[in-house]
Amino acid sequence: MRKYDTTFIIDGTLQEAAREAIIERFTGILQKLGAEIDQIVRWGQRTMAYEMNKRTHGYYVIFYYHAEPSMIAAFERDLRLHENILRFMTLIYEGKHPEYIRDEGAGMEISSAHAVKNEPEADLEEPDFSAEDEESEDFLEEEIDTTLPVDEKDETDQEKEKE
């Protein structure tokens, strides 16, 4: 089984109870398909970058789960057919949970879920650009001939025009 994450946007005009019912419905669908849900992140109400189905706000939810690739099509079909799901996107999970995503419903995890391990990122060293800087300085110090070649016909034409 592969690890996936599906982000979907629920209509922002719905009440909290209706949103929770939708989240529970899709949790149940995944479990019936045989997926193992690791974590559900309720990212919360957000203003969307552009209007979708005459809506300007949406409630974002992210499911992290293990599933067979064949299960994804069936799950996405149910998302596509639900009238209160504005958009969705399923990706193969790469093991990094973005820091800017905060879980509004941290206490509302489903009982069968277990948390995704947050591994500390390795300390990345800054790349050394000093060699590139020296090369660019040498390039800037070189004298560049900016004069354009003059065509002989142009000079003779100019002389004739002067006469």
Question: How high is the pLDDT of residue 45?
Answer: 92
pTM comes to 0.59
Q: Per-residue pLDDT for 18 more than 70? A: yes
Q: Which fold has domain 2-54+61-105?
A: Alpha-Beta Plaits (3.30.70)
The domain segmentation of the chain, as residue ranges, is 2-54+61-105
Residue/partner pairs of 11-17 with CB below 8 Å, 24 or more apart: 11/53, 11/55, 11/58, 11/59, 11/84, 11/85, 11/86, 12/45, 12/46, 12/55, 12/56, 12/57, 12/58, 12/59, 13/55, 13/57, 14/59, 14/84
pLDDT band at 65 (very low <50, low <70, confident <90, very high): very high
Q: Per-residue pLDDT for 78 more than 80? A: yes
